[in-house]
Structure 1
Amino acid sequence: PRRTVRRAPTSQPVREVAPVAAARTAPTPAAGGDWERSLAERERELERLRRILEDDRLRYQQVRQPQLQ
């Protein structure tokens, strides 16, 4: 069995990263015609992240239950 070291709680609150990233990539009203392109790019990014999550989930299950391989 692996040993893990517990970290002491940090004194600073943990920041949410997603809202900051979303605000950075969200189109502005001045962009006008770029809304559709921006939405399409964000949908592609979501699909890429879903594939990564599914791969990680499968890898985790294989590690946790090696007898099912």
Structure 2
Amino acid sequence: MDFTGEEKILMMLYSPGDRPGLYQALGEMRGQLEHDEKELRALTDRVMEKLEQMTDEDFDQLDLYPDI
């Protein structure tokens, strides 16, 4: 599964360390968005859709926090 740079940043900001937890955190954040935050809503929707399509094992293989 390929994630864009923006998607990875969103995931880094909200990830508690596992796929179900990230999905839940994004859903909670999405529910608090204002009507005019369309770009963030669309970004969140894309990430959530991709998370639904992957397994926990696939998520564990992601390198969300690369060495800098």
Fold match (TM-score > 0.5): no
> Relative contact order: is structure 1 or structure 2 higher (C-alpha 8 Å, sep ≥ 6)?
2
**Larger Rg belongs to:** 1
Please indicate the TM-score interval, normalised by the length of the shorter structure.
0.3 to 0.5
